[in-house]
Structure 1
Amino acid sequence: MLATANRISATFEQLAAKGEKALIPYIMAGDPSLADTESLVLALEKAGADLIELGVPFSDPIADGPVIQKAAERALLSGTSLRRILAMVKTLRTKTQIPLILMTYYNTIMAIGEETFCQEAVAAGVDGVIVPDMPPEEADNLHKAAQAHGPCLIYLLAPTSTSNRKTEVIRRTQGFIYYVSITGITGAKLEGFADIEKNVRALQKKAKKPIAVGFGIATPDDARRMAAFADGVIVGSALVKKIAEFQQSPELIQEVSRFTEQLKSAIRPNDRAA
């Protein structure tokens, strides 16, 4: 396995050995600034995050709801770019070894080239990449570049994914599979836990890889219910909303940390059984 995959896989293996599930917060890099993002990453880890997703701001984020769209706008206005994010990750790697995953749209990668992107991402210390607008059937060039240089490519599956798509994603994905809980955009209301559980358990049996669930998980109770069957719980819009609310406040780090601690507490085994 590629060296960059090790932090992701090792984290899931360590958690599984303890009977625990992964908390994977998502924040938009550069919102409200890259300096704040660096501080937030360290605070999220201290508060209990196991892996962290960093959004790369893009002008047309088709998979994202209004909360994350506005965060992308703020990040772009602050001068955030992919290369500046990579420079921040490189700095973070002198302070933390928590797995870091970029969530970016394909145009951002294409602008610098797949090979160059993969090389620079790994050199910076990026562990994984999620490209929500890149179906596996169209990802051959990026997949080859990632196989040659790293980082892990993490693909998405949804309730509407076909059997062929599931097979292809299981074959190609490294690290974990990102299961989209709803047929909608980020931040949409989460419903139908029974159906989600059924789909995730079937996927776990077939994939033999960790399955992390995202989209719509907004509260500690949502996270607790999802952690009863998923291997990881991804929380994005709810955290980004906190950052937007406190972006001008000295309490930003404190408020985000408090919410993250609540999420982590909710998915710990003792709390889940309560």
Structure 2
Amino acid sequence: MPVSVIAIVALLAAVIGPLLRGLIVRYSVPYADAPDGDVSNDGDGSREDVSARPPAWRRECPACCQALPGAGWRGVAGPLAPTGRCPRCTARLGPAPWVVEIVAAVVCGLLAWRITEPWTLVALCWLALAGVTMAFVDVAVHRLPDPLTLPTYLGLLMLLGVAALVGGEAGRWGAAFLAGLGVAAFYFVLVLISPAGMGLGDVKLGLSTGTALGWAGWTVAVYGAAFGILIGGLASLVLLATRRVGRKDELPHGPFMLIGALVMVLAVG
């Protein structure tokens, strides 16, 4: 892509960043904060019992109880300022200032640098922006809520469907769809083997990452899934060696899945 297009894509991602920040703050709700009768769908954290499920989304600032803007339907958030502060009490909300916006811009800019098919770029940027949101939520509270994972997957399928129609590649869409199911099934097996290490939220995220990788081919999907596990394992070893975490501590796997998928997509173009 021309430099001008890369810059425009990165700028648009940065502009969307405050909306992503709003979603991150709304869905970064620890299980311990769940009130009675207010539950969410399955997420990344199968270790918790049903009675400890979190509320579907955060509705107010935890410091001053000021309602967050744009509650919307099913937790659809209004944007929060890149400063990362509550507009009323200035308490810290979510990630550090400008981090979400910068990460979104860099990731989408890299995709625009490598992807030449316009509709494919739109589809992958959709996943990238949703992935940035989910990664921050997963790091914060170790869960991947259904209201983030499932719309991401459905939107990706639709956008890749448009790309397939425009390019006359219906077979490619079918292969990507099957790859998504295959990667999700692989993660589901890992959940059955080690439920403490992964949750069903990771399986649902695997539908999206597997589909995006499968668009480039089955081999890419296999390597991308394996690479996500590899870098997750290496990160765990580094954190253990530096005593940042203990042997019984759990790490979010979603960010490593997304990083693995991004690296493979960039590698194959």
Q: More relative contact order in 1 or in 2 (CA 8 Å, sep 6+)? A: 1
TM-score normalised per structure 1: 0.26
Is the radius of gyration larger for structure 1 or structure 2? 2
Q: Per residue, is there more helix in 1 or in 2? A: 2
